[in-house]
Chains A and B, each alone.
Chain A
């Protein structure tokens, strides 16, 4: 455990030093405060709109940004150290592969978690001062918690990438493709399936398909509670076949634990 914390501490400080924490926090805070204030601009008004609209816009923003940031932060975690030779050196230390991996996960995960918490938390506080509705904190805690899990899930996925390739530039390429697949292509494919196959797809089957993408689970968590008027497309269909929040959160958790386990497995078999 001490070893894990030593690694985590180093990774966390790297995140501070590289200004990752500050930049991510700022991006989240600016965008969420902006959306909170100007969310109603489309309808011609400036000011705080309804809670559900705000959360819906924040969720559709976060679903693109968080995976991208998590992948950027961690894609070179292992391949980078492999290229510089420190990975080999670390493995001659009294430090097991899983300790190293979990330490890195803890450190980089904390950066993502803290940035999400502060960045989006700030707009929750702002909203509370504007609306004075304590409902805000319940909605936002669900939103922030699922956003953190989404970030952690993509951190674990980027470890998979980082451990499977032998060059940093390849890892960057794969990270970009992964982001594109999960954040964009998957939904388009679902939509195509929904439109293309008439009467072929049941709601529950569609929902099950969505469990294959952590980004979609995140959307479901945050949009299920809202009026379906704010939501359209494949999501609206899925929401009707609603799963409970508990089930959705466990699915997200599985998307953290599963890639992490597979990453440890790959790491153990990796040749150095």
Chain B
């Protein structure tokens, strides 16, 4: 694999009293899509700002396309980076086309590209209207069109699917897949988790400025060692009678077996031996559960360290 497009080495950012981002090491290669997850104030936006070069790291180093993004040399790289901020309300009194033309010109493109991009995100019909008449979803599409200007090599998207309807969300993920296949890298920042899983290569979980976990979804699942939920239908109590199976039943979901990943197949085979079985649902832990797991692990750790501190 060639040199990473984005590389953070022990990068951190502190404001007066607050460690917004403690220490993050990360390499993002070309064509990789990474999901960045965390609560509000977890340091997601700070990390994006560091990569964008809007702020400089307090420690460690940040490199984008081989240069520090806050340096003068990195100037021309900026037209190769697209960014969608979390809360942006564009110039309300301008039309969608005027807004996008302004941003396109600043990146060295012209009105024609702006029109094409508006078509791509599906708001051609509204491009002559003032932004203040736009719905939340249309504003978000305009923001995305802005981020897509000039087919960026690196895209940083902060909450890209907020306010989008299911169809627009699907279109958006299609665009991400397309950009990825063209060799662009994408960092998706979100706390809305469903739907994002099949589009990201790696996930990174942040909390209060700290890196909790990073890896592919499979790796994270393994690390978390979360059980698979298996729900057999039509067995009516014979599961509880089966000594091989009843140990997996939990009190709060009496019809569902919570099975560790490595025992999944054995349990399935056992279930199939029951003739009364009508149907079977197998659900691996999803990203949301993995995320919850790492967060609660972190919280427990913090609490116990606090208690230790109180005792000591």
- Would A89 and B83 count as touching, CB distance under 8 A? yes
B residues 149-168 near A (Cβ < 8 Å) are none
Chain A interface, >50% SS class? helix
A57 to B106, CA, bound (A): 44
A residues 49-100 near B (Cβ < 8 Å) are 84-86, 88-96
- Would B106 and A94 count as touching, CB distance under 8 A? yes
Shortest distance in angstroms between B131's beta carbon and chain A's nearest beta carbon?
Answer: 10
Q: Which of A3, A6, A10, A94 has the most CB of B within 10 A?
A: A94
- Would B90 and A86 count as touching, CB distance under 8 A? yes
- Would A92 and B52 count as touching, CB distance under 8 A? yes
For A89, give the chain B residue with the smallest CB separation.
B85
- Would B90 and A93 count as touching, CB distance under 8 A? no
Shortest distance in angstroms between B53's beta carbon and chain A's nearest beta carbon?
Answer: 8
> Is B87 on the interface with A (CB-CB < 8 A)?
yes
Please, what's the 1-or-0 string for A119-139, where 1 marks a CB less than 8 Å from any CB in chain B? 000000000000000000000
B residues 63-100 near A (Cβ < 8 Å) are 75-76, 78-79, 81, 83, 85-91, 93-94
Place the interface of chain B in its size category: 20 to 34
- Would B91 and A92 count as touching, CB distance under 8 A? no
> Is B55 on the interface with A (CB-CB < 8 A)?
yes
A32 to B146, CA, bound (A): 45
Q: Which residues of B contact A88 (CB under 8 A)?
A: 49, 54, 85, 88
Shortest distance in angstroms between B221's beta carbon and chain A's nearest beta carbon?
Answer: 34
> Is B105 on the interface with A (CB-CB < 8 A)?
yes
Shortest distance in angstroms between B241's beta carbon and chain A's nearest beta carbon?
Answer: 60
> Is A18 on the interface with B (CB-CB < 8 A)?
yes
- Would A93 and B103 count as touching, CB distance under 8 A? yes
Q: Which residues of B contact A91 (CB under 8 A)?
A: 54
* Chain B residues in the interface with A (C-beta under 8 A): 15, 49, 52-55, 75-76, 78-79, 81, 83, 85-91, 93-94, 102-103, 105-108, 146
Nearest 3 Cβ contacts at the A-B interface = A85-B88, A94-B78, A84-B89
